[in-house]
Chains A and B, each alone.
Chain A
């Protein structure tokens, strides 16, 4: 299943993608299913509590909520296939066209966004870092920087070196504390594409104090999505290809097999902090970023007007436009 968060008629809703361009509003759909299939008199209240319209709240409720979501979608699919109820579903806002809605990041307000650094050996090389790290390294992206898969990104006045980084985002599905890498994937809810936008000159100044935070956290610096693809659709996330493009030109092209610390190892390590449902880890990025360009090569820094795409195989593609501020 591909879960998503969207806005429709001013409200934020959570939904499921069906048939490539249709969206089921999960809360409304679940209330309809509980009434239609189970005659449940408390259907609306049950749907509001079990599904709701906040993705982290939904994930925190775990399997019962996920099961209700699956049954809702199956029931709706069956009824559509039989030719019944289309009009009812459309009129009650349960079945929507992708064109009618605006996508937000699937998890717009995670409590914790841990972003790996230096996790692809070729990227370590292009950034002139001396050593491959002996333990996972990561920094925090502030949740307020999360933005949608199609949103414009304002170019901050404080930088002249805006850079892109295509990554896979891993969304945690249940509390995990001190887990081993063998069981780590059991704790994953699903995956999304991610672009770790970075202001390299701001980062460089912070690095003089040995810190990394502000340069990664200007408004809109964490585009994510387009969907939260649940893990059952992705049996082997470790083999997925990544690509980034700016104005159609390929910049990064690699696959997650080249990670220094793989997905399971990352989850196991960061579970020392205690991870909860809705927390997100990102994998780090391969070579091909703007900061890796050498003297004599055309600079690759992003500028207002550029369209940057960050794509992960089987997950989806982010497509964000850089804009001058106040646009």
Chain B
């Protein structure tokens, strides 16, 4: 099951909803669950409040609820599948089924406690003193997340922007010092992360080992488009992630190629404590590495970057200069998905 976070038309920013993908359409799960409670459990009056408890406004809160929300999800899916979406509405006739074009998508996680991109410093890589023993990483501030189809703003202070496509694991059950063999009990699911770096700044910061500005400027990260919940039928090691720039494939990898295993990475970082909604991402740069460093994928203003994995979906961004006039950034940066549908902001 893929969960999306989004805003329906006219919603205020805090009125986000969790949408699930059912029969290729998006279902407002809060309202759908209220219908389930009304019809199946006969709890009409309390149905909206209870639905907001199990399907809150954010996916982070959904994950924090743990088993109770996952059971509610299972009940909802069992209810929806045989019924189908034909004429499916909320308890008071509300619209519950949407097309993607009707939703303004947000990053599925708005404020993770930690968003760690596993990687190494530039000067270490270039000097080839890399020890692929410790899965060190960078933290990406939540404020750097751009919307799944929003623009990537080229910051004024840099001349050299590049990106790395990552598969990201999202934590569900909290825990500390989790051994590798128990790690999967703490995984909620997967999403994609695009790690954008101002390489000239990052190279300079690498000298004092203080990576910050180069990795944390507005829209220097993208997370999404959806949270793919953990599924025993999905072979994680075989999930391919591909990055294209203006239609040309520049990175392609599967978790099998990573120098660190997911279990190793999460067990290592669990020393700080794993919390619901934490994100750990490994990218192409960690995959292709054996001895020689993998080149980061350089970007130019105006290019269109897509990062996709078939089970999760696609992130798509146009790179624009920070000081472009509003009109240039507004309508012209609408982006179209592979079917040519306009799903831009």
Chain A residues proximal to chain B, CB less than 8 Å: 111-112, 114, 117-118, 133, 135, 137-140, 142-144, 156-158, 178, 205-214, 217-219, 270, 272-274, 276
In the complex, residue of chain B having the shortest beta-carbon distance to the beta carbon of A177: B218
Residue ID in chain B nearest A142 by CB atoms: B114
A205 to B143: give the CA distance in the assembly, Å.
Answer: 29
Residues on A with C-beta less than 8 A from B120 are 209-211
Q: Can you name 30 A-B pairs with beta carbons within 8 Å?
A: A111-B141, A111-B142, A112-B143, A114-B212, A117-B210, A137-B205, A137-B210, A138-B212, A139-B210, A140-B141, A140-B212, A144-B114, A144-B273, A158-B271, A207-B209, A209-B124, A209-B136, A210-B120, A211-B119, A211-B137, A211-B209, A212-B209, A213-B138, A217-B272, A219-B176, A272-B213, A273-B212, A273-B216, A273-B218, A274-B217
CB distance from B210 to the nearest CB of A (A): 4
A274 touches B141 (CB 8 A): no
What 6 A-B pairs come out closest when comparing CB atoms?
A210-B121, A137-B210, A211-B136, A210-B124, A209-B136, A209-B120
Assess whether A206 is in contact with B141, with CB atoms less than 8 Å apart: no
Residues B272 and A137 in contact, CB atoms below 8 Å apart: no
Which residues of B have CB within 8 Å of A137? 205, 208, 210, 212
B113 at the A interface (CB under 8 A): yes
A274 pairs with B143, CB closer than 8 A:
yes
Residues of B close to A273: CB separation below 8 A: 212-213, 216-218
In the assembled complex, which residues on chain A have CB atoms less than 8 Å from the CB atom of B113?
142-144
The answer to whether B70 has its CB under 8 Å from any CB of chain A is no
By beta carbon, the residue of chain B nearest A129 is: B208
Contacts of B217 in A (CB 8 A): 272-274
Contact for A209 among B134, B176, B208, B273, CB less than 8 A: B134
Which B residues are in CB contact (< 8 Å) with A276?
143
Interface set, chain B 145-199, CB cutoff 8 A to A = 155-157, 176-177
Check: B306 CB closer than 8 A to any chain A CB: no
B339 CB-CB contact with A under 8 Å: no
Contact B157 A218 (CB under 8 A): no
| Assembly CA distance A219 to B123 (angstroms) | 30
Please report the C-alpha to C-alpha distance between residue A106 and residue B60 in the assembled complex, in whole angstroms: 24
Chain A residues whose C-beta falls within 8 Å of the C-beta of B157 in the assembled complex = 272
A156 to B124 alpha-carbon distance, docked (Å)? 28
| B contact residues, range | 35 or more
* Bound CA–CA A214/B116 (angstroms): 10
Q: Is the CB of B272 within 8 A of A219?
A: yes
Q: Report the bound CA distance from A208 to B208 in whole Å.
A: 12
User: B211 at the A/B interface (Cβ < 8 Å)?
Assistant: yes
Q: Which of chain A's residues has its CB closest to B206's CB?
A: A210
Query: B204: which A residues are within 8 A, CB to CB?
Result: 135
B78 to chain A, nearest CB (A): 36
B263-304 residues with Cβ-Cβ distance < 8 A to A are 269, 271-273, 275
Indicate the member of B114, B130, B271 with the most A CB atoms within 10 Å: B271
Is B131's CB within 8 Å of the partner chain A? yes
Question: Is B122 an interface residue, CB under 8 A from the partner?
Answer: yes
A212 to B123, CA, bound (A): 14
A218 touches B272 (CB 8 A): yes
Whether A118 pairs with B208 at a CB distance below 8 angstroms is yes
Q: Does any Cβ of A come within 8 Å of B89's Cβ?
A: no
Contact B273 A213 (CB under 8 A): no
Residues of B within 8 A of A210 (CB): 120-124, 206, 209
For the complex, give the distance between the alpha carbons of A134 and B306 in Å.
37
Does B142 contact A142, Cβ atoms closer than 8 Å? no
Cα distance A327–B272 in the bound complex, in angstroms: 17
Given A138, A142, A178, which contacts B139 in the complex, CB threshold below 8 Å? A142
Contact A208–B134 (Cβ < 8 Å): yes
Residues on B with C-beta less than 8 A from A142 are 113-114, 139, 272
Separation of A144 and B273 alpha carbons in the complex (Å): 10
Residues of A within 8 A of B141 (CB): 111-112, 140
What is the minimal beta-carbon distance from A174 to any residue of chain B, in angstroms? 15
Are A111 and B208 within 8 A (Cβ)? no
User: With a CB–CB cut-off of 8 A, which chain A residues contact B205?
Assistant: 137
Shortest CB-to-CB span from A127 to chain B, Å, is 11
Chain A residues with Cβ under 8 A from B138's Cβ?
Answer: 211, 213
Residue with the highest number of chain A CB atoms closer than 10 Å, among B123, B216, B272, B273: B272
Chain A residues positioned under 8 Å from B114 (CB to CB): 142, 144
A276 to B142, CA, bound (A): 13
Contacts of B211 in A (CB 8 A): 139, 211-212
Roughly how many angstroms separate A270 CA and B210 CA in the complex, as a whole number?
A: 13
Q: How far is the CA of A307 from the CA of B134 in the complex (A)?
A: 32
Contact with B137, one of A111, A143, A213 (Cβ below 8 angstroms): A213
Chain B CB within 10 Å — which of A133, A139, A140, A205 has the most? A140
On whether the beta carbons of B136 and A214 are closer than 8 Å, the reply is yes
B94-126: which have CB < 8 Å to A? 111, 113-114, 116, 119-124
Closest to B132 in A: A209
Q: What is the CB-to-nearest-CB distance from A272 to chain B, in angstroms, rounded to a whole number?
A: 6
Structural contact, A156 and B271, CB atoms closer than 8 A: yes
